[in-house]
Amino acid sequence: MRPVTASTSSALRSWTRHTLPTSATSSTSRFAAVAAATTASPSSSQRRLQSSESGASSFESPFQHAKYDTTKIPSFKNYASKSSEVSNRVFSYFLAGSMGLLAAAGAKATVQDFLVNMSASADVLAQAKVEIDLAAIPEGKNVIIKWRGKPVFIRHRTEDEIKQAESVKVESLRDPQADSDRVKKPEWLVMVGVCTHLGCVPIGEAGDFGGWFCPCHGSHYDISGRIRKGPAPLNLEIPVYDFPDDDKLVVG
């Protein structure tokens, strides 16, 4: 390599001095730029501080005021009705009466539905009363019908049977009862055909007294259905019946 001449080295030094600034001058220029930027626009922390100060000035804390008196009764004048006392009372009575009527109507419907559900069905009501044509029963004969699940004896008695039933001394009977108290018409005897001992069905025109006989335990009933012998304690039961016509009988 050829050596650099003196004129060339002096030219390089002068060029370097003008092109590259020194470290002192570069740091000074950097600080000046930062200071200019700081004065030109505020920092983000300064902006947040300014915004918090402006927000604090618009918000008022309720704890800065004086404490309220908790024992003082507040005023409800703003909620009071503007109408007169009489009109308010009438309105209150109207509402109370309307609610009472609605409650009564609901209770009536509930009770009515309950009673309808508890009442007897149509087939049971159909058996509540039984109508019999008496013209079809000859004198001296028995007829057995079904009423409410029980047998009912209907006897067309003869004159001799009527006299026999009426001639019995009531005092001598186990269950004292006159024949006239057991019949509405002397020729027609209507009884429930269930033995009063254990619920058996007695046999008609049998026994020691010409009436009914229960073969289960030997109870004897006379022509009026009164117990005369055996373990049965009571006479045969007389159901509710009526004669709407001379030849019609309604049991029940």
Question: Would you name the residues annotated as active-site residues?
Answer: 217
* CA dist list (Å): 171 to 161, 175, 177, 216: 20, 9, 9, 27
Non-local (6+) Cβ contacts of 42 within 8 A are 50
Residue 6: in which H helix or E strand, if any? helix 6-19
Taking the C-alpha atoms of 106, 110, 113 and 115 in order, what is their torsion angle to the nearest 10 degrees?
-130
DSSP state of 246: T
* CA dist list (Å): 67 to 60, 62, 64, 74: 15, 9, 9, 15
Strand stretches in 78-138, DSSP E: 130-133
What does the DSSP assignment read for 158-223?
A: -HHHHHHHHTS-GGGSSS---GGGT-SBTTEEEEE---TTTS--PEES-STTEEEEETTTTEEEET
Q: Tell me the one-letter amino acid at 14.
A: S
Dihedral sign for Cα atoms in the order 197, 203, 205, 209: negative
